Amino acid sequence: MVFREGTTITKDTNTVKVQKAHRPPGVFRAFVTNKRLLLFAVACGTAHALAQTAPSRTRAYVEALAADRFEGRLAGSNGERLASAYLVAELQKIGARPLPGRADFLLPFDFTAGSRDGGSSVALGGRTWTGADARALSFSDNGDVSAPAVFAGYGIVVPVGNDAQNFGYDSYAGLDVKDKVVLVLRYFPEDADQKTKAVLARYSDLRYKAMAARQRGAKAMIVMTGPRSPNAGELIPMTFDTALAGSGLVAVSVTGPVAKEILSAAGKPIDEVQQSLDSGNPHIAGFAVPGAPVHVHAEVVREKQTARNVAAYLPATNGAAASKPWVAVGAHYDHLGRGDHGNSLAAQDEKGRIHSGADDNASGTAAVLALAQTLAKEPRHRNLLIALWSGEELGLVGSSAFVANPPVPLDQIEAYLNFDMVGRMQDNKLTVQAVGTSPAWAKLIEQTNVAAGFDLQLQQDPYQPTDVATFNLASVPCLSFFTGTHADYHKPSDTAAKIDYEDLDRIVDFAAAIVRRLAGLDEAPSFTKVAQPIETGAGRAGVRVFTGTIPDYATEVKGLLLSGVIGGGPAEQAGLQKGDVIVEIAGQSIANIYDYTYALEVLKIGQPAKVVFLRNGVRKETMLTPGARK
């Protein structure tokens, strides 16, 4: 499961609940008396006796996938490659075949794995700083800029009316930075009161500073970390960023000594400058740096890597004359490696350790394999597509690649069943998500549950942080199974020993029964588009407007590419659709998803805003009226 920023984590006694910031209200429960467990309790006495009589069908898969030899299965890594080879071997044992037209079970795809500096530099008056003294920011455009420099304080602009105190902080007030190199400090004023700091912090993200500089005509931005700030004088690390997109600006960071030297050309010692910005009037003006132009060269090398989805199928045995002859089952098998890429929640003392990902998501992968093994032994009225995704933890990259270039026509897939974190059942509770994607689901699930006896929690919302979201966007009726989060989520302590194999096997039986029932329906389930708000952009705190856009995180374009719009939402009402690229909203140019997130800050609920977008390369305009987030 993907960790989303904006997700709050609250601790109670010994479990950690990850609550989605905007969990929709459509959760209801169906309580069914658990007759099955009761019968076993009578027949076997204890769960231990049960385990002895019926060996688990999922345990060996989970233990293999969570083992150290796969090194946490980070997409694109050697561990992921070895894990994919293991999955291929297991699928062969089950008797599954490569998808029609394919020679083997591997579906490789490319993704942006990170970025590194390719030799950026800053030069002034015959001196050049590189390597240890100057480094590109990870979102910088590549290029060279030679221009006079202007110091613009912290480079923070708080949109008018967007702070409760209305103090309208603007580092650029009275400054002309057009075609200049802007120098800014990292972070925000140190000595401001807590309330002011809280407002400023929201606008101190480097992406936001870059956007503010670019929109005022600057050609480059140099960031320095002042002597009074955390990480004083240090270069800014290049971050891992799968939503890579240039910022439309050349941007670098420099060390303290370089910053000192550049500012000394204006006769301003950096410590005094920062002191006055921190403690004095926040409107203190920036200043031009006289003398020779500053030369900024930025070079970011974006590294492409290849990861591997694994896909196979079990052909229908009774012909597949149905209008939709395929049923798909899937789970992501990738995880976080040692936690240095992606979204590890490892505590300080467990950093760098292998993240085994037994629940997330060896459990779901094991469920899919065991499900295939079960269905392989019986007559089938549908082709069973078995998909094991990579790149889920990096933003659903693997399933998105599959849907973008589907080896099986998507409109021939009757349904997709997804399994993500299904190994830690508590109190017999099973959550089934995306139930709103078809009117057929609720009845079918509850009928199947009469024999299974779970305490079901049905959630309508398909916009989940797992691969089910991809199939929902592709208009395939879908479901996702989930046993809830826990204290070991995204930590090295998510180990195979903590998995509840008995209940994991029950989930396999439950899913098998659903697949059988699907084949018995007179008509394939119809797809319903669920209208639900989701987080847009990076999910920054404080964004309360709802636009109903679904950004595409995986594709690199200038602007915001929409992978869809939410049914009935403001974007759909404005006529926006999948494939449109938003390049401007409310007068703010949008170069990437970060700009878009920040632009949302100035939108007002109920107040129409002009949106400029590209459709098939043609520039168009519409008005969008943001709603309130529910």
289 interacts with Zn ion by CB under 5 A: no
Q: Considering the complex, what minimum distance in angstroms separates the CB of residue 393 from Zn ion? A: 5
Q: Taking CB under 5 A as the rule, does residue 184 contact Zn ion?
A: no
Residue 142: how many CA atoms within 13 Å on its side-chain side? 9
Judged by CB under 5 A, does residue 552 bind Zn ion? no
Q: Which residues are within 8 A (CB) of 39 and not within 5 positions of it... i.e. 6 or more apart?
A: none
Nearer to Zn ion, 134 or 388 (CB): 388
Joined together, the tokens standing for residue 227 give 């002597």
Minimal distance in Å, beta carbon 384 to Zn ion? Answer: 25
133 interacts with Zn ion by CB under 5 A? no
Q: Which is nearer to Zn ion, 1 or 576 (CB)?
A: 1
SS3 per-residue string spanning 118-181: CCCEEEECCEEEECCCEEECCCCCCEEEEEEEEECCCCCECCCCCCCCCCCCECCCCCCCCCCE
**Smallest distance, Zn ion to C-beta of residue 178, A:** 45
- The residue nearest Zn ion at its CB is 1
**Residues whose CB falls within 8 Å of the CB of residue 493, separated by 6 or more in sequence, listed in order:** 350, 487
Interface residues for Zn ion in 4-33 (CB under 5 A)? none
Q: How many residues bind Zn ion (CB under 5 A)?
A: 2
Residue number with CB closer to Zn ion (362 or 403): 362
Q: Report the nearest approach of Zn ion to the CB of residue 317 (Å).
A: 35
In angstroms, give the least distance from the CB of 2 to Zn ion: 6
Looking at the Cβ atoms of 459 and 464, the one nearer to Zn ion is 464
* 3-state SS record for 368-412: HHHHHHHHHCCCCCCEEEEEEECCCCCCCHHHHHHHHCCCCCHHH
Quickly count: other Cβ atoms within 10 Å of residue 45's Cβ.
10
* Least distance CB 628 / Zn ion (angstroms): 30
Maximal CA-CA distance, the chain: 90
Binding of residue 90 to Zn ion (CB under 5 A): no
Q: How far apart are CA 34 and CA 31, in angstroms?
A: 9
Tell which residue, 229, 230, 224, 231, has the closest CA to residue 256: 224
Nearer to Zn ion, 340 or 556 (CB): 340
Report the alpha-carbon distance of residue 189 to residue 200 in Å, rounded. Answer: 8
Report the nearest approach of Zn ion to the CB of residue 14 (Å).
21
Q: Which two tokens stand for residue 509?
A: 């039986």
Q: How far apart are CA 489 and CA 355, in angstroms?
A: 10
* CA gap 623, 59 in Å, rounded: 54
Contacts of 347 (CB under 8 A, 6+ apart): 491
Cβ proximity to Zn ion: between 9 and 605 the closer is 9
- What is the closest distance, in whole angstroms, from the C-beta atom of residue 109 to Zn ion in the complex? 19
Residue 65 within binding range of Zn ion, rule CB under 5 A: no
Minimum distance from residue 165 beta carbon to Zn ion (Å): 39
Binding residue for Zn ion (CB under 5 A) from 1, 65, 145, 538? Answer: 1
* CB of residue 390 to Zn ion, shortest distance in Å: 13
β-bridge mates for residue 110, sequence order: 306
Site for Zn ion in 326-365 (CB under 5 A): 360
Handedness of CA 365, 370, 374, 376 (dihedral sign): positive
- Identify which of 248, 251, 219 has the alpha carbon closest to the alpha carbon of residue 235: 251
Residue with smaller CB distance to Zn ion, 140 or 466: 466
Q: Which is nearer to Zn ion, 391 or 525 (CB)?
A: 391
Give the nearer residue to Zn ion in terms of CB position, either 360 or 455.
360
439/422 Cα distance (integer angstroms): 24
- Smallest distance, Å, CB 334 to Zn ion? 9
- Nearest distance from C-beta of residue 533 to Zn ion, angstroms: 22
Regarding 469 and contact with Zn ion (CB under 5 A), the answer is: no
Which of these ranges, 1-9, 79-87, 113-121, 511-519, lies near Zn ion under the rule CB under 5 A? Answer: 1-9
DSSP 3-state of 85: helix
**Cα separation, 406 vs 255, whole angstroms:** 48
Amino acid at 377: K
Distance CA 561, CA 552 (A): 6
CA 452, 453, 455 angle in degrees (round to 5)?
130
Which one, 360 or 461, has the nearer CB to Zn ion?
Answer: 360
Residue with Cβ nearer Zn ion (109 or 333): 333
Q: Which is nearer to Zn ion, 360 or 414 (CB)?
A: 360
Distance CA 339, CA 356 (A): 10
Binding site for Zn ion (CB under 5 A): 1, 360
